[in-house]
Amino acid sequence: MDHRLFTRISRTICHAENRLTVWRPLLIKLVCLTLPYANYPLERGIEGVARAGYSYVGLGWSHEGEDTLGFDPDGPLVHRTKTLCEQAGLTPVVIGLGSTPARDNARYLMRRIDVCRALGAETIQMGGAGGYRRFPHEPLAPEVFRAAHEAYVADLQEAGTYAQKQNIILAPKPHTGNTATAKHLARLLPEIDRPSVRACYDPGNVHYYEGISPEDDFPHIADQTCKIIAKDHIGPKAENNFPIPGEGDIDFERIFATALEAGFDGPVVVERVNGTGGTFTAEEIDIRIRHSRENVIDLLNSAGFALDET
Kindly state whether residue 232 falls inside one of the protein's structural domains.
yes
Kindly state whether residue 164 falls inside one of the protein's structural domains.
yes
Domains: count for the chain: 1
Query: What's residue 173's pLDDT?
Result: 98
Domain containing 163 — which CATH number? 3.20.20.150
Query: What's residue 7's pLDDT?
Result: 34
Domain that holds residue 218: 32-307
Kindly state whether residue 2 falls inside one of the protein's structural domains.
no
Residues 6+ positions from 78 with CB-CB distance below 8 Å: 69, 70, 72, 115, 118, 119
Tens of pLDDT, residue by residue over 74-105, are 999 999 999 999 999 999 999 999 887 767 89
Distance CA 194, CA 54 (A): 31
Kindly state whether residue 10 falls inside one of the protein's structural domains.
no
What parts of the chain have a pLDDT lower than 50?
1-21
Number of helices and strands in the chain (H, E): 10, 12
Kindly state whether residue 26 falls inside one of the protein's structural domains.
no
Kindly state whether residue 265 falls inside one of the protein's structural domains.
yes
- Contact between 163 and 169 (Cβ < 8 Å): yes
Residue from 231, 293, 222, 297 nearest 260 by CA: 222
* C-alpha pair distances (Å), 153 with each of 38, 146, 205: 30, 11, 21
Distance CA 50, CA 44 (A): 10
Query: What's residue 100's pLDDT?
Result: 78
* DSSP bridge partners of 228: 201, 268
Kindly state whether residue 112 falls inside one of the protein's structural domains.
yes
Query: What's residue 23's pLDDT?
Result: 57
Is the model's pTM score more than 0.85?
yes
281 residue type, one letter: T
Distance CA 278, CA 297 (A): 26
Kindly state whether residue 221 falls inside one of the protein's structural domains.
yes
